[in-house]
Chains A and B, each alone.
Chain A
């Protein structure tokens, strides 16, 4: 459903607030189809907030965004899709491991996508977010 909506109705994300409404519907869909995913996202939020200078807020296109020093580390849509920006070099290395995907919209950039589907994926998502966190740290 998410891919279909992004592909055919993605242009609507520029309507103020609509992506946040869509993400609320995604939450309800997840509540029905895979409620534990909502707990996993909460767990990731708690772990990320335990890192210094990290904050969370709504992502402009829907989802939970993690920032360090007000710079985005990444965001998780309510269907468990983690999107984040890494360097192209780190991305290339991770792509070889075969667990991450090219970002669902921004191909050929440092953006990656990773679907959180199992409990094991939660740990991997945290490792990815840690990489993003450190990347911003190096820039400060």
Chain B
């Protein structure tokens, strides 16, 4: 292995070692170690890029080579996350654009500061990033959100209600690209009874079951249920908790019903400006999959 190749190799190894050491450290000092914080997806990837360029500081790195190196660094980190952090494939697919972007930004930053060869600037920037990492690790992280979707069904509320509380298996193919890619989608719902306090189950395409309990039962108008237990799926484990679901039925007076689906969830992954886009998209498509199935069942004579 020639010298530049050896420097590259050392850069990849060191960048990933630093990243995993810092993730381990953050879990030790964080108030809630189950939360994946902003620092782990923004600052650590940037530091990975900086560490890589430190090993390459004696060589001229073109932007193209740096971008490729960032892809390799990111790929190694993803493989290690799958192996050691037991993350799911779709979850890693979702995180990869964020990681790649910040590893590249860190690389560009590193190339800039090491080109200037200003040790004061180098130490200051790295210290600033580490300070931000510690501050973020010690800060509280709590984020909850609600997603609402609405469809109109050509059937009266009493007919729709029958399929809202429980519905038979949905065998139609999913339209949403993440469901097509293998993310589990809701296919069936069962309820032990049509009354307040009844237990309900939402069954997903991979067999996972969400246990639910009906907390509001206002016939033909409002079904609200709390999620009492959700499966330990590697794609969602520790990243999102679905807290509550709700179906509201509004009689339009013309033999049609407006069905409103609401879900409340808590995110355990930050930054929310990135992950909430995905959470909203997935929750919306879970709603639509269920609501379109209810529509189809209600409108079938």
Contacts and interface: CB of A to CB of B under 8 A. Distances in A.
A38 B62 contact: yes
B64 A31 contact: yes
Given A20-B105, A21-B105, A27 B63 contact: yes
A114 B294 CA distance: 53
Interface string B68-91: 101100000000000000000000
Residue picked from A20, A25, A27, A35, most chain B C-beta under 10 Å? A27
B104 A28 contact: yes
Contacts of B64: 31, 35-36, 38-39, 42
Contacts of A21: 101-102, 105
Nearest to B64: A38
Interface string A27-47: 110010001101101100000
A28 B67 contact: yes
B100 interface: yes
B231 interface: no
Contacts of B193: none
B235 to A, nearest CB: 24
B278 to A, nearest CB: 15
A122 interface: no
A35 B64 CA distance: 7
Interface in A5-55: 20-21, 24-25, 27-28, 31, 35-36, 38-39, 41-42
B97 A41 contact: no
B97 A25 contact: yes
B63 A28 contact: no
Contact of B67 (A20, A31, A36): A31
Contacts of B62: 38-39, 42
B44 to A, nearest CB: 16
A76 B193 CA distance: 64
Interface string B95-112: 001001110110010000
Contacts of B71: 28, 31
A25 B101 contact: yes
A105 B64 CA distance: 28
A6 to B, nearest CB: 18
A24 B101 contact: yes
Nearest to A12: B273
Interface in A93-108: none
A28 B101 CA distance: 8
Nearest to A41: B63
B229 to A, nearest CB: 37
A38 B63 contact: yes
Interface in B41-73: 62-64, 67-68, 70-71
A38 B97 contact: no
B187 to A, nearest CB: 35
A31 B105 contact: no
B97 A31 contact: no
A16 to B, nearest CB: 12
A27 B108 CA distance: 11
A38 B67 contact: yes
Interface of A: 20-21, 24-25, 27-28, 31, 35-36, 38-39, 41-42
30 contacts: A20-B105, A21-B101, A21-B105, A24-B101, A24-B102, A24-B104, A24-B105, A24-B108, A25-B97, A25-B101, A27-B63, A27-B67, A27-B104, A28-B70, A28-B71, A28-B97, A28-B100, A28-B101, A28-B104, A31-B64, A31-B68, A31-B71, A35-B64, A35-B67, A36-B64, A38-B62, A38-B64, A39-B63, A41-B63, A42-B63
Top 5 A-B pairs, shortest CB-CB distance: A38-B64, A31-B67, A38-B63, A24-B101, A24-B105
